[in-house]
């Protein structure tokens, strides 16, 4: 696989500013949500005050069934909007989003840090299958009888109108969960393709035969329950396709790149990245830039730049976090770890070495054990390996002292018997 990046100057640069409220977001569970078109129709009927039984029944069913669905909405007093620049400040935001645990708490934390996914952009009409922010509003506590009367009273109309006019934009959590699953699907596939991990790819890209006996290449989805690829089915190619003949039998890298291309193009069709001229240098010149539609399209743009080899990222061997190595020497080919992580490892290794030397000096471990631990320390490149060596030092039993030779107790020499007086003549 060719690692040489494309010339970035051949492509327009990207510029994107996104905003988030300084007071953050919260999860609303006691509100009704509906698409913009449905909301506009409801608002118009409310203004006209010309409702039939169908309208009243639908309104009551929405009020009855709309509660309980968690909706991500800004705080009631959003305060000022904080500008962010994800493309420059968070070049690996797409990886963070793919690794996000799709729980309500994790989604709320991500939104408070980076902002909403879709926003309220109204300057572009999106495809029908695009997920967008929805209208969120609370309805007054009305009974079905009040709504089903032959003529709804003015007081009821006014309360309904106030609820509709107080609507705000929100994003259902299940929208987020779908987007996370789609991004995770694509990012995992990209990492396997980038590292030429054919063993992992073969679990999901399968050479098979269809019912007619023709050879086909199938793709097994892992995370996304819905096919998010435009015109993409489980069968990627069959032997009837002309492109099929150019792929070596059993190859999984080329089909993986095809799936990545199709999926990213489909997502960028739903949430486009436009080319715009932007004035610079006190309006003395105009430069072309890629401008994402919202935060979601910005993250898909980041992934597309990695697939196209314009950007490159690697995982630190020590802490496991991803790092953008695009501007490092040779696109980060020799990069293995953060400088801070490497310094921490050296400091911890030196500290453990001193403890081993001290333990050997005081007789807590013998010389052979000390050599063994120091050898493991010299080879340790991660915190886990250093911790293992440290634990081995702590668990090492104190060497037994050689047993002292027992010396036989000397019996006191017998004194010669004293001669009795007068016995010798």
DSSP string, 244-267: GGGSPTT--HHHHHHHHHHHHHHH
Q: Are residue 253 and residue 353 in the same domain, yes or no?
A: no
pLDDT for res 46:
65
CA distances from 229 to 197, 240, 261, 263, 274 (A): 23, 21, 10, 5, 20
pLDDT for res 213:
83
Instruction: Answer yes or no: is 25 within a domain.
Output: yes
Residues making up the chain, counted from first to last: 425
Residue 385 sits in which domain range? 339-395
Name the pLDDT band for 353 (thresholds 50, 70, 90): confident
Name the pLDDT band for 122 (thresholds 50, 70, 90): low
> Quick check: 354 pLDDT over 60?
yes
> Quick check: 190 pLDDT over 60?
yes
What is the C-alpha to C-alpha distance for residues 284 and 11, in angstroms, rounded to an integer? 21
β-bridge partners, 315: 322
What is the C-alpha to C-alpha distance for residues 48 and 59, in angstroms, rounded to an integer? 15
The CB-based long-range contact list for 142-146 (8 Å cut-off, 24+ gap) reads 142/60, 142/63, 144/60
Q: Which residue has the higher pLDDT, 334 or 142?
A: 334
Q: Name the nearest CA neighbour of 266 among 214, 315, 231.
A: 231
Instruction: Answer yes or no: is 147 within a domain.
Output: yes
Instruction: Answer yes or no: is 37 within a domain.
Output: yes
What is the C-alpha to C-alpha distance for residues 36 and 169, in angstroms, rounded to an integer? 10
Q: Token match 């609507």: residue?
A: 167
Specify whether the CB–CB gap between 30 and 138 falls below 8 A: yes
Q: Are residue 78 and residue 118 in the same domain, yes or no?
A: yes
Mean pLDDT for the chain overall: 75
Q: Are residue 146 and residue 60 in the same domain, yes or no?
A: yes
Q: Are residue 7 and residue 133 in the same domain, yes or no?
A: yes
pLDDT for res 30:
73
> Among 61-65, 123-127, 157-161, 226-230, whose mean pLDDT is lowest?
226-230
Q: Which residue has the higher pLDDT, 403 or 213?
A: 213
pLDDT, tens digit (0-9, with 9 covering 90-100), for 223-239 = 655 444 433 457 777 88
> Quick check: 134 pLDDT over 90?
no
Q: Name the nearest CA neighbour of 120 among 20, 29, 27.
A: 20
What is the C-alpha to C-alpha distance for residues 114 and 86, in angstroms, rounded to an integer? 8
pLDDT for res 382:
61
Domain count within the chain: 2
Q: Are residue 44 and residue 185 in the same domain, yes or no?
A: yes
pLDDT, tens digit (0-9, with 9 covering 90-100), for 12-39 = 788 899 999 999 998 988 777 777 666 6
What is the C-alpha to C-alpha distance for residues 179 and 170, in angstroms, rounded to an integer? 15
Domain final residue pick, 328, 363, 381: 328
- Across residues 151-162, what is the average pLDDT? 67
Instruction: Answer yes or no: is 164 within a domain.
Output: yes
> Among 30-39, 40-49, 197-206, 258-267, whose mean pLDDT is lowest?
40-49
Q: Are residue 180 and residue 276 in the same domain, yes or no?
A: yes
Q: Are residue 294 and residue 355 in the same domain, yes or no?
A: no
Instruction: Answer yes or no: is 17 within a domain.
Output: yes
Instruction: Answer yes or no: is 409 within a domain.
Output: no
- Across residues 357-381, what is the average pLDDT? 69
Q: Are residue 236 and residue 385 in the same domain, yes or no?
A: no
Q: Are residue 90 and residue 140 in the same domain, yes or no?
A: yes
Name the pLDDT band for 344 (thresholds 50, 70, 90): confident
Question: Which of the given ranges, 19-23, 348-352, 395-399, has the highest pLDDT on average?
Answer: 19-23
Q: Are residue 10 and residue 31 in the same domain, yes or no?
A: yes
Q: Are residue 33 and residue 119 in the same domain, yes or no?
A: yes
What is the C-alpha to C-alpha distance for residues 191 and 36, in angstroms, rounded to an integer? 37
**Chain centroid, CA 241 distance in Å:** 36
CB proximity list for 395: less than 8 A, separation 6 or greater: none
Domain final residue pick, 306, 328, 350: 328
Q: Are residue 61 and residue 106 in the same domain, yes or no?
A: yes
Instruction: Answer yes or no: is 412 within a domain.
Output: no
**Chain centroid, CA 251 distance in Å:** 29
3-class SS at 418? coil
Instruction: Answer yes or no: is 407 within a domain.
Output: no
Residue 130, Cβ neighbours under 10 Å: how many? 15
- Across residues 284-304, what is the average pLDDT? 90
């Amino acid at each position: 696989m060719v690692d040489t990046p494309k010339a970035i100057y051949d492509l327009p640069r990207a510029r994107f500013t996104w905003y988030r409220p300084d007071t953050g977001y919260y999860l609303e569970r006691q509100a009704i949500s509906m698409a913009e078109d449905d909301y506009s129709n409801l608002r118009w009927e409310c203004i006209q005050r010309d409702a039939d039984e169908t309208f009243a029944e639908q309104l009551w069913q929405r009020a009855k069934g709309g509660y309980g669905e968690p909706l991500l909405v800004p705080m009631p007093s959003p305060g000022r909007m904080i500008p962010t620049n994800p493309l420059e400040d968070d070049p690996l935001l797409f990886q963070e989003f793919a690794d996000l645990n799709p729980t309500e708490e994790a989604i709320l934390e991500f939104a408070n840090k980076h902002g909403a996914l879709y926003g309220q952009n109204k300057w572009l009409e999106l495809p029908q299958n695009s997920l967008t922010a929805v209208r969120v509003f609370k309805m007054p506590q009305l009974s079905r009888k009040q709504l089903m009367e032959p003529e709804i009273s003015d007081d009821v109309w006014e309360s309904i109108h106030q609820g509709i006019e107080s609507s705000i934009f929100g994003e259902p959590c299940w929208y987020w969960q779908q987007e996370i699953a789609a991004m995770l699907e694509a990012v995992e596939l990209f990492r396997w393709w980038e590292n030429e991990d054919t063993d992992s790819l073969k679990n999901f890209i399968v050479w098979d035969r269809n019912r007619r006996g023709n050879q086909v290449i199938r793709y097994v989805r892992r995370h996304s329950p819905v096919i998010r690829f435009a015109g993409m089915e489980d069968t990627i190619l069959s032997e009837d396709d002309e492109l099929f003949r150019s792929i070596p039998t059993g190859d999984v890298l080329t089909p993986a790149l095809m799936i990545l291309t199709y999926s990213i193009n489909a997502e960028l069709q739903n949430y486009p990245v436009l080319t715009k001229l932007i004035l610079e240098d006190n309006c003395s010149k105009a430069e072309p830039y890629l401008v994402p539609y919202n935060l979601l399209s910005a993250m898909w743009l980041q992934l597309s730049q990695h697939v196209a080899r314009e950007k490159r990222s690697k995982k630190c061997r020590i802490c496991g976090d991803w790092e953008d190595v695009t501007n490092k020497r040779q696109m980060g080919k020799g990069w293995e770890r953060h400088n801070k992580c490497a310094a921490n490892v050296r400091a911890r290794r030196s500290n453990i070495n001193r403890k081993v030397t001290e333990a050997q000096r005081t007789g807590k471990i013998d010389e052979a054990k000390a050599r063994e631990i120091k050898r493991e320390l010299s080879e340790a490149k991660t915190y886990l390996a250093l911790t293992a060596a440290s634990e081995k030092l702590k668990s090492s039993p104190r060497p037994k002292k050689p047993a002292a030779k027992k010396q036989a107790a000397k019996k006191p020499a017998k004194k010669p018997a004293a001669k009795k007086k007068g016995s010798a003549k």
